[in-house]
A and B are shown apart, each in its own frame.
Chain A
Amino acid sequence: MPFACIYVPNFPVAAAVRAEPELKARAAAILEGKPPLENIFAVNEKAHRMGITPGMTKAQAELCAEPALRPRSALQESAAHAALLDCAQSFSPCVEDTACNTVLLDLSGLESLFGSLPEISRALSHRATTLGLETNVAVASNPDTAMLAARGWCGAGTLARAGVAVIPTGEEAERLGPLPVEVLFADHLEGEEKKSAERLLETLERWGIRSLRALAALPEVALSERLGQEGLHLQNLARGAASRTLVPVEVPLVFEEAVELEHPIVLLEPLAFLLNRLLEQICARLGSRALSTRELRLTLELENFSSSNQQSKTTNQQFRRTLRLPLPMLDAKVFLKLLQLDLNAHPPGAPIAKIHLAAEPARPRSAQGGLFLPPTPEPEKLELTLARIAGMVGENKVGALELLDTHHPEGFRMQRFVVEASRKNSVARALMPANSNHAEEKSAVTALRRFRPPLRADVTLENGQPVYLVCPKKDMQGRVLWRAGPWCFSGDWWEREAWSRDEWDIALKNDALQHGETVVLYRIVHDLLGGGWFVEGTYD
């Protein structure tokens, strides 16, 4: 039963590099502690070459060279850990969350899906790279051997390189032999564990035991007498003979990324740059779990926040925007454009100190095209187009129509224009015989073009019927040639917004136009509650 281990060497630096990929090319060091008492906690390879080592103070590190000093971020590390779990979960459902930088997964039965064990290892490494993590991947017949092999690629220290190792069954002791004894202990232990590990390492050092081969060759009884059961367990590990069962973990579907800024951002352009990075990471994680999203929640922590100017939803010093999508999508570029358009329309109003982005996972949409189906707008492109148009004409001025169950003349509301909802109807329609479409065809229906808002007019009545109309707004003035009505409407009398009106259809000979008189059909309305006449529209 093969097991794989994915190990992220130098995890604090890896988490920082994942959030800020530019650090790969620079000497970077992670600081821990409260200013001004900050110490170097971890360094990358370039910083190590410059002479920066963990434990140095910030001032000492700055004297050595000009490294990129970043504070240790729990948010970044938890996001990197979640990405590591996503990577493992995308291959196997049986995943053990061994440490923040180590996951173990059961590979039994995966050969038919992903190929041979070396191929699976490479695929794991590649997937982790796409998620922004440089990892060591090792495959062995038992979990501990895989973990030791993954840790020991170049030692347990900071200078690790990504690599893949597959240890055949029976060769565990031989392959693990050259590794140093430090790989037996996890990185960055704390408290009692750290003290115990240091004591054991010191003892082994005193004995001259520096590699796993040497430890494996020690006599068991003598080792047991000196180090107890712990010594025997370490020897078993060194021989690759330890065996245990995995403790699978159910990883919650939480997709969140965050970045804390040293200096607050005041412009949207650099914000977009950071958002792009976060969105790419979230999309990569969602993609590794074969998921999409329908909702993006952006939370910006603001500096010097004054709530009096804000109309958006704000809590304390936070500015929140929620982007709801009509369909599940997974395109970082589309998300970025949508967020940009949204932030352009609703700017935060204060410098941004921290960005937090979360995605609500959803099943990806499944749609099957057909040769005989009419063309439909691509949902991602359409959403962008609608957002752009909404930014231009207003949010509630673009969309689909929904008629309300009322006799009110404007009894409709705008709703979101969604392509997917009616695709099923088109499939059904395409399957219908061609003649049925012809049967549906109706004769043309006289349309009304509305004036929004209706135009106030002066109407002269004769025997209760309109005979002359003047509307200065539209250059309407003339004798009513023909009229029909009144059609009396009223409604909402139980509400404060009650309405009651008489409608007339008239043909007006317009004398106000300079280039000759014209006869136009209008609908005019007499507002019985408010008084006054209005031209509501023209029949066209």
Chain B
Amino acid sequence: MSSAVFSTSAATGRPFVFEEEAEPEVRSLASASRASLDRTAPSTPLSAGEGGCPHISQQMPEKRGVQESAIARVLQSTIKNQQSKIPPASVTPASRLAIRPAPEMVSSGVPAIDALTGGLPRGCLSEICGPASSGRTTLLLAALAAATRRGEFCAVVDASDALDPRSASAAGVELDRLLWVRCGASSTQEKNSPQRHRGEEKGFFENPEDRIQSRSTNQSEQRLEKVLRATDLLLESGGFGLIALDLGDLPSQAARRIPLTTWFRFRRAVEHTPTILLALEQQAIAGSCSSLLLQLGKPGDELKASIAQDNRLFDADNAGESAAKACPEPVEGRQKNAAHGPSTALRVNSSRGLDAEEGEAPEGRKKVCRGERSAHPAHAQLLTGLNITAELIRSRVERKPARSVTFESKTAWAG
């Protein structure tokens, strides 16, 4: 009803003017009151004799008509003046909204992931989730390596102090371009300090149980708070090409306590900047705030099948059979199964027991042969890498992007 439109816009101060709707119909006060009276009591016509309003019914019709027209003219002119002051189209129809430009995509460092997702979007929040040993950190390090190779500065906000510098270096991350924020509980420097060793003769590791008892129950919450505040500060600082939020070892229950408003804030902070905000977690927790969601493989039957196959090879080595040197290939079966769900497979390199010691030693590791172990083919197996399966759950580029891809990671010392 046009009168309703008029009253609403007047109340809020914003005229709701649409294409089909012309100027609102305006009626005089008397006619409006009469109409309202008609609506409220349609079945009880009022009259002077029945106790109705005597002023309305007793007025002369000509005089009343003149007054109504005068009031209507005044109101019309007032409304026109008001409408001329207010911009007519305060609410833009959804059909006229500008299309949000597609984000710039940059390489994630893994060609298979780039083929799947188009890369990582700048100015957006991306999530990589998956259980332990699913390849999340491998993908993170690859992305960091690619970013630092581009000359960008990166930051890792590490909730559990889990980053391994050797792995990062082996992945190609330029360490002087990487800012590492360690929000974990322990400190490596303290652990390796000579004072500690002087006071403790047991060995180079300390007993963690002692610390566990002294930890408060809300330690993970405090750590989470530190992580979020550090991320906030880094986003505010700006200038980073990639900021990674590593919540990979945080329990899902704790990670789910991050309010959605925090993710909205992160998304808004990173928007219109060239920064990639990458969150690493066990389960997707950012909801619709993330522009890209990658679910990495769950090590399950595939891994077990691979292990069983490898164990057979291992037994065959022990029995003196011919060695199967090549790793169990990233078999097609696995890739076919990948369509049914994400998976991770273990790749091992088997060789003929102690003979393999005469071969080249892996970089950074020395092989020691001891008398009591000589009977066991200790170095017959070598972890050469993982087959990582990634499934694209959400992407801004595609509406229903349910696809997956498998790629191989290589162990740093595996040549």
Q: Quick check: A540 and B248 within 8 Å, CB to CB? A: yes
Q: Given A398-B180, A445-B141, A488-B366, are A518 and B153 also a contact pair (CB < 8 Å)?
A: no
Q: How far is the CB of A491 from chain B (nearest CB, A)?
A: 10
Considering the complex, give the chain A residue whose CB is closest to the CB of B372.
A464
Among A398, A417, A449, A519, chain B packs the most CB atoms within 10 A around the CB of: A449
Cα distance, A414 to B206, chains bound together (Å): 21
Decide: B141 and A537 in contact? CB cutoff 8 A. no
Interfacial chain A residues near B214, Cβ < 8 Å = none
**In the complex, chain A residues whose CB is within 8 Å of the CB of B234:** 385, 389
Q: Is A403 an interface residue (CB 8 A)?
A: yes
- For the complex, what is the distance from the CA of A521 to the CA of B307, rounded to whole Å? 11
Find out whether the CB atom of B408 lies under 8 angstroms from the CB atom of A444: yes
Is B181 among interface residues, defined by CB-CB distance under 8 A?
Answer: yes
- Let me know if A273 is at the binding interface, CB within 8 A: no
Q: How far is the CA of A135 from the CA of B382 in the complex (A)?
A: 80
Tell me which residues from 481 to 495 in chain A have a Cβ below 8 Å from any Cβ of chain B. 481-489
The answer to whether residues A532 and B274 also contact, given A373-B151, A482-B346 and a CB cut-off of 8 A, is no
- Write the chain B residue with the least CB distance to A513: B131
B79 CB, nearest partner CB in chain A, Å: 52
Residue ID in chain B nearest A425 by CB atoms: B151
Residue in B142, B248, B379 whose CB lies within 8 Å of A444: B142
Q: Is the CB of A453 within 8 A of B407?
A: no
Of A205-213, A243-251, A344-352, A375-383, the stretch lying at the interface with chain B is A375-383
Q: Which stretch of B17-25, B54-62, B95-103, B157-165 is in the interface? A: B157-165
* A529 & B203 in contact (Cβ 8 Å cutoff): yes
Assess the B208–A419 pair: CB atoms within 8 A. no
Report the stretch among B8-16, B41-49, B85-93, B186-194 that lies at the interface. Answer: B186-194
A448 touches B167 (CB 8 A): yes
Q: Is the CB of B304 within 8 A of A481?
A: yes
Given A425-B151, A518-B299, A412 contacting B165 (CB threshold 8 A): yes
Say yes or no for A262: interface residue by CB 8 A criterion: no
B170 on interface, CB distance cutoff 8 Å: yes
Residues of B with C-beta under 8 A to A376:
153, 239
Interface residue B236 (Cβ < 8 Å from any Cβ of A): yes
Can you list, as one digit per residue, whether each of A124-154 has a CB less than 8 Å from chain B (1) or not (0)?
0000000000000000000000000000000
Contacts of A532 in B (CB 8 A): 203, 205
Hey, what's the 0/1 contact readout for A414-453 against B, CB within 8 Å counting as 1?
Answer: 1001110110011001100000010011111111111111
Contact of B367 among A421, A488, A534 (CB under 8 A): A488
Contact-size category for B: 35 or more
Is residue B117 within 8 Å, beta carbon to beta carbon, of the partner chain?
A: no
Q: Are B149 and A440 in contact (CB under 8 A)?
A: yes
| A119, chain B: closest CB distance, angstroms | 39
Within 8 A of B (CB), among A363-421: 373-378, 381-382, 384-386, 388-389, 392-394, 396-403, 407-414, 417-419, 421
For A401, the chain B residues whose CB sits under 8 A away are 165, 168, 175, 178, 180
Contacts of B168 in A (CB 8 A): 401, 447
A496 interface residue per 8 A CB criterion? yes
Q: Given the interface contacts A374-B151, A398-B182, A446-B409, does A520 sit within 8 Å of B133 by beta carbon?
A: yes
Contact between A446 and B386, CB atoms less than 8 A apart: yes
Minimal beta-carbon separation of A412 from chain B (angstroms) = 4
Cβ contact of B233, chosen from A385, A417, A447, A464, cutoff 8 A: A385
A499 near B409: Cβ-Cβ < 8 Å: no
Known: A375-B241, A507-B307. A400 touches B178 (CB 8 A): yes
A449 to B152, Cβ gap below 8 A?
no
Q: Which residues of B contact A382 (CB under 8 A)?
A: 237, 239
Minimum Cβ distance to chain B for residue A429 (Å)? 5
CB pair B167–A430 under 8 Å, yes or no, is no
Contacts A446-B411, A448-B167, A489-B366 hold; do A374 and B152 have CB atoms under 8 A apart? yes
Contact B177 A422 (CB under 8 A): yes
Q: Does A263 contact B (CB under 8 A)?
A: no
Q: Which listed residue, A389, A394, A442, A446, touches B383 by the CB 8 Å rule?
A: A446
Cβ-based interface call for A463 (8 A): yes
Question: Is B80 at the interface (CB under 8 A from chain A)?
Answer: no
**Residues on the B chain within 8 Å of A540, using CB:** 132-138, 248
B230 touches A496 (CB 8 A): no
Cβ-defined partner of B204 (8 Å) among A396, A519, A529: A529
CB under 8 Å from chain A, chain B span 372-405: 372-373, 375-376, 378-379, 381-383, 385-386, 388
Q: Given contacts A377-B153, A484-B383, A540-B133, are A403 and B171 in contact (CB under 8 A)? A: no
Query: Is A538 located at the chain interface by the 8 A CB criterion?
Result: yes
For B300, list chain A residues within 8 Å (CB). 518-519
A252 interface contact, C-beta 8 A = no
Nearest Cβ in chain A — how far from B198, in angstroms?
7
What distance in Å separates the Cβ of A485 from its nearest Cβ neighbour in chain B? 6
**Most chain A CB inside 10 Å of its own CB: which residue of B137, B191, B407:** B137
Task: Establish whether residues B241 and A443, one from each chain, have CB atoms under 8 Å apart when the complex forms.
Answer: no
Q: Which residues of A contact B360 (CB under 8 A)?
A: none
Chain A residues with CB under 8 Å of B237's CB are: 377-378, 381-382, 384-385
B180 touches A419 (CB 8 A): no
Contacts of A374 in B (CB 8 A): 150-153, 241, 274
Q: Chain A nearest CB: distance from B185 CB in Å?
A: 8
**Contact A385:B381 (CB < 8 A) given known A441-B149, A451-B162, A540-B136:** no
Tell me how far the C-beta of B303 lies from the nearest C-beta in chain A, rounded to whole angstroms. 5
Encode B190-234 as 1/0 by CB contact (under 8 A) with A: 011010011000111111110110000000000000100110011
Q: How far is the CA of A136 from the CA of B229 in the complex (A)?
A: 52
B404 CB to nearest A CB, Å? 16
Contact B197–A446 (Cβ < 8 Å):
no
Find chain A residues with CB under 8 A from B176 CB. Answer: 400, 402, 418, 421-422
Q: Which residues of B contact A409 (CB under 8 A)?
A: 166
With both beta carbons as reference points, the residue of chain A lying nearest to B202 in the complex is identified as A530
Bound complex: CA of A539 vs CA of B348, how far in Å? Answer: 14
CB pair B132 A400 closer than 8 Å: no
Q: A539, B248: Cβ atoms under 8 Å?
A: no
Q: Measured between C-beta atoms, what is the minimum distance from B71 to chain A in Å?
A: 61
Q: How far is the CA of A442 from the CA of B149 in the complex (A)?
A: 11
Residue of A nearest to B308 (CB): A481
Is the Cβ of A403 less than 8 Å from the Cβ of B141? Answer: no
Are A444 and B150 interface neighbours, CB within 8 A?
A: no
Residue B330 lies at the interface, judged by CB distance under 8 Å to chain A: no
Contact partner of B132 (CB less than 8 A), chosen from A486, A497, A518, is: A518
Q: Is B368 an interface residue (CB 8 A)?
A: yes
- Distance of A469 Cα from B365 Cα, bound (Å): 24
**B141 CB, nearest partner CB in chain A, Å:** 5
Chain A, Cβ-Cβ closest to B299: A519
Are A393 and B230 in contact, with the CB atoms below 8 A? yes
**B132 in contact with A520 (CB, 8 Å):** yes
A320 within 8 A of B: no
Nearest chain B residue, comparing its CB with the CB of A377: B239
Report the Cα distance A397→B161, complex, angstroms: 9
In the complex, 12 of the A-B residue pairs with CB atoms within 8 angstroms, ordered by the A residue number, are A377-B238, A393-B181, A394-B187, A403-B175, A429-B150, A441-B107, A441-B172, A446-B385, A497-B192, A507-B303, A518-B298, A537-B164
Name B's A-contacting residues (CB within 8 A). Answer: 107, 109-110, 131-142, 145-146, 149-153, 160-172, 174-189, 191-192, 194, 197-198, 202-209, 211-212, 226, 229-230, 233-234, 236-241, 248-249, 274, 298-300, 303-304, 307, 310-311, 346, 348, 364-368, 372-373, 375-376, 378-379, 381-383, 385-386, 388, 407-412
Closest 8 pairs between A and B when the two form their complex, measured CB to CB: A530-B203, A377-B239, A426-B151, A488-B368, A447-B137, A385-B237, A540-B137, A397-B182
| Chain A positions near chain B (C-beta within 8 angstroms) | 373-378, 381-382, 384-386, 388-389, 392-394, 396-403, 407-414, 417-419, 421-422, 425-426, 429-430, 437, 440-456, 463-465, 473, 481-489, 496-497, 499, 501, 505, 507, 509, 518-521, 527, 529-532, 534, 537-540
Instruction: With A378-B238, A519-B299, A520-B299 given, name 16 new contacts (CB 8 A).
Output: A376-B153, A384-B237, A401-B165, A402-B175, A440-B172, A443-B408, A446-B135, A446-B412, A453-B211, A454-B208, A464-B372, A496-B197, A497-B197, A519-B307, A530-B205, A540-B136
